[in-house]
Chains A and B, each alone.
Chain A
Amino acid sequence: MKIIPINKKLWLVFFSFFVLALTNFFIVRYFETARKTDGAIIDAAGRNRMLSQQLGFYAERVVRGNEAVKETLKNIITLHQVSFYALKDGGVAPEIAGNRFLPPTIPAIMPIAKKAESLWLEYKKQGEIIVNEPAFVDGALNLTVSGALDFIEKNASEMLRRNNDLVKAYVEMNDEKQAQMNFVLFILLVFNVIVVGLGAWFTILITKSEESRAKEEAFLESIGDGLAVIDKEGRIVEMNKTAGELLNVIPIECIGKKYDEIFLVKNKKGEKVSLNDQPMQIVLTTGKKVSTTIATAAYYYVRKDGTQFPVATTVTPVVLNNQIIGAIDVFRDITKDKDIDQAKSEFVSLASHQLRSLPTTMKWFLEMLLSGEVGPLNEKQQEYFEEVYQNNQRMIILINMLLDVSRIELGAFVATPELTNVIDLAKEVLKESGLPIRAKKISIKEIYAPDLSLVLVNQKLLRIVLQNIISNAVKYTPADGKISVAISLKQKDENVGDRKIGENSLVITVSDTGYGIPKNQYDKIFTKFFRADNAREKDSEGTGLGLYLAKLIVNHIQGDLWFESELNQGTKFYLVIPVEGQEKKEKAKELAAGAGD
């Protein structure tokens, strides 16, 4: 939509109102004239009638010998003539104040007018005979004159009738005009209502949009993060207060300027980022969202005074009708977050060292005691030291898991993918559980796809996931049970269990004939410190961290982990890891859509 400036819109409303008022004025005035002529016509017709009667009256008196009224008769004829033609041909209505105009006869009523006219002309001619000829010739009645009077008297009623017809035709003509006028006025009324309504609606809309704009501005101003909006040419169209404060500029002064004049971007190394590599430009050209996080902190924004700050930014394209019309940059100063992040990493590192150190030393001393190399232990001593040793082992496992969890949660784990022989890895992990497997006489079935080559995946992380899933299978399968581990590569859109996979993936399944997972606890199985009721019953020593950690890792490497289970029948875990683009994903994480980790 093209945006018309608000004052122009208001002018448009005013202008249409003005045109409407003017139209109303002229239309009403036009029909007002018609109404006035109605009166004038009736008046003229009345005069005609009166003059016709008077003509007859005076004509008779003249003929009877009253010479004195001859002049009056002559005047009446003249007045009648003027009055008649005013009615027929139009013009100023005689002797009416305000000189109302009469309309000329329209063709539709011409025959009626002609009829009246022809009689009138005869009438006039006879009247003039009476005026001009002497009433008596040689003492006797002038026959010409008495014939004229005869004609006038005989035709008086006819003259009246034709005159009436003419008036009637005129009035009908005016009535018709009146009806037209009613119709036009009705249309005008409707039109008025529409225009006024539209105008009012428009005005309300404008007011509303003004209001919502004011609100939007208030919203933008209230956003705690810096916000800048640019158009597709890269010009700043909006900038909030926080952005101004962060960049040390006055927002209003930045509007209309190219964003690279205001946003000086540097990379981690302090080098200036060229225009084409700046997030805003990337978004404008690719249409894809760009975001950086504390973990990546790929960019620094430089303030007007030359100082700079690390920034977490999310730049999103603004799309209208499938076209990029601009971009929005939401950013914040992450100096503090980075410090905190650093502190967290240091804490985890320190905790790793200190927490692990003590049980390890204990373990070594216990090993030396238990091996008997410093002298034999009696049976109870042996038994108790074994207990101490086992508890110490559990502490080591718990600490390791907690540290793994916190490192992953804090994003301190570098998950670089490497070429990994997944089958060897699975075999190693199985070997680690060799002792309990043999003790419980569990049979292991390994089904490995023959075409499996090296897979690009982070070995350390995959190992942790496998360790947890396989050790769970061993732990929660009763004696003489079966565990099968299958590894294969599946293509995009193939089915794995009841799911269809979206990418070419490495698929590892671990199924057992164990205790199963209670249905009502399915949704909690991957939550931190959760242990299923039956698992707690069978083994009181679990940490409740294993599957949480596994899921955390699988999410981290953008894979999927789920299970199918039947109580007391067994459980099957599905692990799906996309194999293509693990490397790409790593890169993507630094600079890409939705990198919220």
Chain B
Amino acid sequence: MEEQTKKKILIVEDETSKRKALVDKFTREGFRVFKAKDGAEGLEVAFKERPHLILLDLVMPKMDGMTMFKKLRQENAWGKSVPVIILTHLSADDEKMNKEITENEPSYYLVKSDWTINDVVEKVRERLSR
């Protein structure tokens, strides 16, 4: 029963170690966590589980984060509106990327090394509480 009220989040991250950190943290913080190791798997899990929010890495094998993001937004109404927080190591000075993200609200852009893991949790909570 409790499982049903928990917020569902999907973590798409190719690095095992980093994925583990996020999955563990969000689980402890009381989320129902789904994980995927690349864009293709992420897309599949997303449409199957329809999480409340997606945490998305950009640089990944098979399908990168940007491609998955675009496909998600194109697929259906749910895909268009689900909040996505992009986690990346790339700085946001890439004009093109910035534009694509801001054009497709609701989405955020976090540079991983600037944020503590608690900050990331905070950001997710804040977005979900809207």
Q: Which residues of B contact A360 (CB under 8 A)?
A: 18, 89, 112-113
Binding site for B on A (CB under 8 A): 349, 352-353, 356-357, 359-361, 363-365, 367-368, 371, 373-374, 396, 399-400, 413-414, 416, 460
A372 CB → nearest B CB, Å: 12
Partner of A353, one of B24, B28, B59, B93: B59
Decide if B128 is an interface residue (CB 8 Å cutoff).
no
Across chains A and B, which 3 residue pairs bring their CB atoms closest together, nearest first? Answer: A356-B89, A364-B117, A364-B21
CB contact under 8 A between A373 and B28, given known A352-B91, A357-B15:
yes
Q: Which residues of B contact A413 (CB under 8 A)?
A: 93
Decide if B95 is an interface residue (CB 8 Å cutoff).
yes
B95 touches A364 (CB 8 A): no
Decide if B102 is an interface residue (CB 8 Å cutoff).
no
CB contact under 8 A between A367 and B90, given known A357-B15, A359-B113, A360-B113:
no
Q: Which residues of A contact B24 (CB under 8 A)?
A: 368
Decide if B118 is an interface residue (CB 8 Å cutoff).
yes
A385 CB → nearest B CB, Å: 14
CB contact under 8 A between A371 and B118, given known A352-B90, A356-B113, A416-B95:
yes
Decide if B5 is an interface residue (CB 8 Å cutoff).
no
CB contact under 8 A between A357 and B118, given known A352-B90, A460-B93:
no
Partner of B18, one of A361, A367, A371, A373: A361
Complex Cα–Cα for A266 and B24 (A): 56
Q: Which residues of B contact A361 (CB under 8 A)?
A: 15, 17-18, 21
A124 CB → nearest B CB, Å: 127
A363 touches B116 (CB 8 A): yes
B3 CB → nearest A CB, Å: 21
Q: Which residues of B contact A399 (CB under 8 A)?
A: 113
- The 11 listed contacts between A and B (C-beta, < 8 Å) are A353-B88, A357-B18, A360-B113, A361-B17, A363-B117, A364-B116, A374-B28, A400-B113, A414-B94, A414-B95, A416-B95
A368 touches B90 (CB 8 A): no
Decide if B71 is an interface residue (CB 8 Å cutoff).
no
Decide if B25 is an interface residue (CB 8 Å cutoff).
yes
A368 touches B89 (CB 8 A): no
Q: Which residues of B contact A396 (CB under 8 A)?
A: 113
Partner of A368, one of B88, B91, B93, B117: B117
Q: Which residues of A contact B88 (CB under 8 A)?
A: 353
Q: Which of B88, B90, B93 has the most CB of A within 10 A?
A: B93
Q: CB-nearest residue of chain B relative to A458?
A: B93
Complex Cα–Cα for A46 and B24 (A): 148
CB contact under 8 A between A357 and B89, given known A367-B117, A367-B118, A400-B113:
yes
B61 CB → nearest A CB, Å: 13
Q: Which residues of B contact A414 (CB under 8 A)?
A: 93-95
Q: Which residues of B contact A357 (CB under 8 A)?
A: 15, 18, 89, 112
Q: Which of A361, A367, A413, A460 has the most CB of B within 10 A?
A: A361
Contact with A along B28-46 (1 / 0, CB 8 A): 1000000000000000000
A191 CB → nearest B CB, Å: 79
Contact with A along B92-118 (1 / 0, CB 8 A): 011100000000000000001100111
B117 touches A353 (CB 8 A): no
CB contact under 8 A between A352 and B89, given known A367-B118, A400-B113, A414-B95:
yes
Complex Cα–Cα for A408 and B86 (A): 25
B19 CB → nearest A CB, Å: 9
Q: Which residues of B contact A400 (CB under 8 A)?
A: 113
B44 CB → nearest A CB, Å: 24
Q: Which residues of A contact B59 (CB under 8 A)?
A: 353
Complex Cα–Cα for A324 and B73 (A): 58
B97 CB → nearest A CB, Å: 11
Q: Which of B10-26 contact A (CB under 8 A)?
A: 15, 17-18, 21-22, 24-25
Q: Which residues of B contact A352 (CB under 8 A)?
A: 89-91
Q: Which residues of A contact B91 (CB under 8 A)?
A: 352, 460
Complex Cα–Cα for A348 and B94 (A): 13
Partner of B116, one of A367, A373, A374: A367
Complex Cα–Cα for A399 and B89 (A): 12
Complex Cα–Cα for A365 and B25 (A): 9
Q: Which residues of A contact B18 (CB under 8 A)?
A: 357, 360-361, 364
Q: Which of A365, A374, A413 has the most CB of B within 10 A?
A: A365
